Amino acid sequence: MLKQSEKEMMVSHSIDSMGESVKLDSLSQQSSSLKMTIRNLNFYYGKNQVLFDISLDVKENKVTALIGPSGCGKSTFLRTLNRMNDTIPDTRMEGKIKLDGVDIYKKVKNASMLRTRVGMIFQKSNPFPKSIFDNVAYGLRVNGVNKKHIVAEAVEETLKRAYLWEEVKDKLNKSAYTLSGGQQQRLCIARALVVQPEVVLMDEPASALDPTSTIKIEDLIGELKKNYTIVIVTHNMQQAARISDTTAFFYEGKLIEVGKTKKIFTKPDKKKTEDYITGRFG
């Protein structure tokens, strides 16, 4: 409890000190604390600016959905949150992104350290060409956990948490490629969870899956938010409405509107948001 309030103090302090001009209505609405704060984010591929002055808060243990038409920058935005764009040459970023009040670009020296705290699930399931066990164990091993029984325990526990254990417990040494698409994606989720991240970024995690697998993933997300903060990019508006607490609407690299999911989907403030939600474009 003390820890919680400390965090809140730290966060509120950090926001005060930023002196941002935009008053975010989400700030006044919510009671839970902020996990990540993004302020005045600009992003460039070479000379081409793809994100414009984006400020957004990510609340702890909530699901934040990013919606918008293709090419609106929501995936790029997501990838700035764990510095994944660092791996792409010729990119540049301006602005501040803080995790628990700490600037992840200036104060966190090592992007790989950050990524153990901010995990990521990709659009296409991308298991390593290794066994199911080794896929999950990979995150532990690269972070220096090598003791056999600890790894085995963590792998089992994480697979259970991703509701995959029952399906794979008898073939942990089989290649991950022997799993179905939906199982592969849940394996990727387990793989990301094993390093115990605090924030999980998901880039359209169910877009390549059939409806049954999609429901499984969505149920999993609902379960995960008890312990993790989730930011999810989705094309599927019903999905955003079903699983998220906060929704942010991106359009042409700008954050048009952000608010409680219920409000965005019933009474959006902006005309553009309404047009997109009601399917007039996109």
Partner 1 sequence: MRDTIDKLTTPHSDIVNTVVNPKSTGKIPKGLTLLSVLIIAGMLALILSNVIYHGLGAISWDFLTLPPQNGMEGGGIFPAIFGTAALVILMTIAVVPIGVLTAIYLQEYTRPTSLVTRVIRMAINNLAGVPSIVFGLFGLGFFVGFIGHGIDKIFYSGTRPVWGQPAIIWAALTMALLTLPVVIVSTEEALKAIPREIKEASYALGATKLQTIMKIIVPQALPGILTGAILAVNRGAGEVAPIMFTGAAYYLPYLPTKLNDQFMEMGYHIYVMATQSPNIEATKPILYGTVLVLLTLTLLLNFVAIYIRSNIRRRRIHA
Q: Does 196 bind partner 1 (CB under 8 A)?
A: no
Tokens of 93: 């970023």
CB of 139 to partner 1, least distance (A): 4
DSSP secondary structure letters along the chain = -HHHHHHHHHHHHHHHHHT-S---HHHHH--SPEEEEEEEEEEEETTEEEEEEEEEEEETTSEEEEE-STTSSHHHHHHHTTTGGGGSTTEEEEEEEEETTEETTTT---HHHHHHHEEEE-SS----SSBHHHHHHHHHHHTT---HHHHHHHHHHHHHHTT-HHHHTT-TTSBGGGS-HHHHHHHHHHHHHTT--SEEEEESTTTTS-HHHHHHHHHHHHHHTTTSEEEEE-S-HHHHHHH-SEEEEEETTEEEEEEEHHHHHHS-SSHHHHHHHTTS--
- Closest-CA residue to 73 (of 201, 266, 253, 208): 253
Using the contact rule CB under 8 A, the part of the chain among 34-42, 113-121, 232-240, 247-255 near partner 1 is: 113-121
CB of 138 to partner 1, least distance (A): 6
Residue (73 or 119) nearer to partner 1, CB: 119
User: 92, 106, 141, 280: which one contacts partner 1 (CB under 8 A)?
Assistant: 141
Tokens of 117: 């705290």
CB of 101 to partner 1, least distance (A): 21
User: 4, 5, 48, 112: which one contacts partner 1 (CB under 8 A)?
Assistant: 112
Query: Per CB under 8 A, which of residues 240..259 are in contact with partner 1?
Result: none
* Binding letters toward partner 1, positions 7-26, x by CB under 8 A: --------------------
Contact 246, 260 (CB under 8 A): yes
Residue (200 or 243) nearer to partner 1, CB: 200
Q: Does 139 bind partner 1 (CB under 8 A)?
A: yes
Using the contact rule CB under 8 A, the part of the chain among 22-30, 175-183, 220-228, 232-240 near partner 1 is: 175-183
Quote the CA–CA distance of 38 and 272 in Å, as a whole number.
22
Total residues binding partner 1 (CB under 8 A): 35
Residue (178 or 180) nearer to partner 1, CB: 178
CB of 281 to partner 1, least distance (A): 29
State the residue for tokens 């790894």: 151
Q: Does 207 bind partner 1 (CB under 8 A)?
A: no
Residue (190 or 255) nearer to partner 1, CB: 190
CB of 148 to partner 1, least distance (A): 17
Q: Does 130 bind partner 1 (CB under 8 A)?
A: yes
Tokens of 109: 């020296």
Q: Does 38 bind partner 1 (CB under 8 A)?
A: no
Which residues contribute to the site for partner 1 (CB under 8 A)? 82, 84, 87, 89-90, 110-113, 115-116, 119-120, 122, 124, 126-131, 138-139, 141-143, 173-175, 177-178, 188, 191-192, 195
